[in-house]
Amino acid sequence: MCLVFLSGCSDRKDLSFEAAYTIDGDLYPEGRIMNYVEKAVITNTGTDSTKELYFHIYANMYKHLYKVEDGDIAVTSVCDGSGNMLDFKRMQEGVLYRVKLAKPLEPREATEITFLCEVLIPDLERKYGISPDGDIQLPSFAAQLAVYDENGWDTEPLPEEGDGRYATVADYDLTIRVPEDYTLACNGTELSCETGDDVKTYRYYAEKRRDLVVAACKDYVCLERTVGNTTILGYFNETVNCVTPDNMERVMDYAAFALDYFNSIFPEYPYDTLVVTNAALGSNVAVNMEYSGMITVYFDTLGASTGSRMGTYHEIAHQWFYSLIGNDENNEPWLDEGFATFATGLCMEAEGTGNVDETYWDIYAITDTTMQGDKVNVGADEAEVYDFVIYNRGCMFLKHLMDTLGPDKFLPILAEYCKNNMYGIATTDSFLNTIYAGTDVDISSIVDEYIGKN
Ligand SMILES: [Zn+2]
C-alpha cells in the first residue's frame, strides 16, 4: 500500500492583502435610491500572484435572510485602474462577487478596482432599509475584499443563524451627498459637512474597520459624551417609540459607562468617535447591532432600562469582540457573541446596581445546564440552539474560567488575548493558547466540557 500525502498539491496559495476603499455616493431618501462609485485599492502582500479577487457585499444578505421582496445592491459594472472593463460574477444572491483581473496581481503590486453600484433601499427589516419612522439604516453596503485564509478564499454561503460576517480590517474614505434636511451618521470620523444647492456633502474616514455603515434621518437629536480619547456621538429619532429625551440621555450614560469600563480592562478603544443610534423599527421588530465604531440600540418599553442597558453594554463589548478582535462569524461565532455576552455580565457587575446584576449569570447558567455537553466552537448553523449554545454557553465557558482562575488572573489573560489579536482574526486556538501561556492551573475539564475538536 502506498500512502500519498496530498498537502503539497493544495490549490491554496500564499496570498494576503491590504485593502483601502474610496466611496463617492448620493443618497436620495425620497426615491429610496443610493448610487455610488467605489474604488478599491488592493495590495497583494503575499508571495504568490492571483488572477481573481472575491468581494462581499454583506448588505445583500438581509434580503435573503429576511425574505425581503425588494431592495438590492446591484453592481452594474467593474473596471480596473486602466479603464479595462472586468469580467465579474454575481454569486450567492449578490453577497459574493468574483472579479477576474485583466492581468495577474503579482506580489507587492496593487490594483485598483472600481465598482459602480445602485442601491434600491427596501422597507426596513431588522437592520437594513427605511423604517416607517423615516430612519434609514444601511450597514455593510460597500464591496469589501473577501478573506483569504488557510482554506483559500472565503466563499462559504452565509449561515441562516447569526451575522455570518468575516472581514479583515481596511480603511474607508466616504463622501456622500444627502438632501439638506437630512442628517447622516456613520461609523467613520466626520471630516467635513458642507451645505450648498440644497445638498449636504459629508466626508468620513474610517480607519482599520471591518465594515462601513451609514444611517440617516431628517430629525436626529444629537447628544455627546466624552470618554478618554473618544467622543460618543448619539443620533436619535424622537418619533420612534420610547426614544424620549430622558431615555436618550440614559442610553448615552450606559454607553459612556461601558466604554470607560471596557477601557479599564481591555486595550483602550482606539477610535476618536463611537456612534450610538436608536435601532430603527420595522414590522415592530428592532434589533441591537454592532458595527466597527457604531452601534444601534433598541429603546425598550421599560423606558430604556433593563433591555437597553444590557443591549448597550453588549454592543459596546462587540467593539472589542468582533470589531477590534475579529473572528469568522460563520464558523466560530462564539468568539464574538459568547465574549460580548460575558463582557456584558462583567459590566453589569461593575455597575453593581439592582437585581438584574445579581441574576445576570444565573439566567445564562440555566440554559448552560440545559445544553450541557454542547460545544461552543461550532459553526453558526451547527449549533443545536444558536442563542443558547453560542451566546449563553459561550458566556458561561468564560465565566467558569474566570471563577477557576480568579478575576485577577483571568481578566489580564483576556486583555492579553485582545492585544495579541488586535486588528487581526482570532480563533478558539489563539484564545486557548493565551490561557495556557498565562496560567498553570488545570482547566482541562472545563475546556473538555465546552470545546470540541476543530
Ligand atoms: Zn451580539
How many CB atoms sit inside 10 A of residue 108's CB?
10
Q: Enter the pTM of the model.
A: 0.94
Output the pLDDT for position 282: 78
Output the pLDDT for position 111: 98
Output the pLDDT for position 3: 44
- Rounded to whole angstroms, the Cα distance separating 215 from 40 reads 22
CA of 61 from ligand 1 middle (Å) equals 17
Which SS3 state, helix, strand or coil, does residue 32 take?
A: coil
CA of 288 from ligand 1 middle (Å) equals 8
How many CB atoms sit inside 10 A of residue 268's CB?
12
Spell out, as residue ranges, where the chain has pLDDT lower than 50.
1-9, 354, 357
Could you tell me if 252 and 95 are in contact, meaning their C-beta atoms sit under 8 angstroms apart?
no
Output the pLDDT for position 7: 43
CA of 281 from ligand 1 middle (Å) equals 18
- The dihedral through the CA atoms of 322, 325, 328, 331 has a sign that is negative
CA of 340 from ligand 1 middle (Å) equals 6
CA of 385 from ligand 1 middle (Å) equals 15
Residues with CB in 5 Å of ion ligand 1: 337, 340
Output the pLDDT for position 8: 42
Which SS3 state, helix, strand or coil, does residue 436 take?
A: helix
CA of 321 from ligand 1 middle (Å) equals 9
Residue 210: C-alpha distances to residues 169, 239, 269, 338 (Å): 5, 31, 15, 19
Q: Which amino acid is at 275?
A: V
CA of 197 from ligand 1 middle (Å) equals 41
CA of 109 from ligand 1 middle (Å) equals 37
Per DSSP, the residues of 356-381 read HHHHHHHHHHHHHHHTTT--SSS-TT
Output the pLDDT for position 219: 85
CA of 260 from ligand 1 middle (Å) equals 19
Buried b (16+ CB within 10 A) or exposed e, 187-217: bbbbeeeeeeeeebbbbbebbbbbbbbbbbb
Which SS3 state, helix, strand or coil, does residue 282 take?
A: strand
Could you tell me if 430 and 421 are in contact, meaning their C-beta atoms sit under 8 angstroms apart?
yes
Could you tell me if 224 and 236 are in contact, meaning their C-beta atoms sit under 8 angstroms apart?
no
Output the pLDDT for position 4: 41
Domains located in the chain, CATH noted: 16-173 (2.60.40), 219-318 (1.10.390.10), 334-450 (1.10.390.10)
Provide the strand spans (E) within 218-348. 220-227, 230-237, 273-278, 289-291, 294-297
Q: What residues pair up with 148 in beta bridges, in sequence order?
A: 153
CA of 124 from ligand 1 middle (Å) equals 20
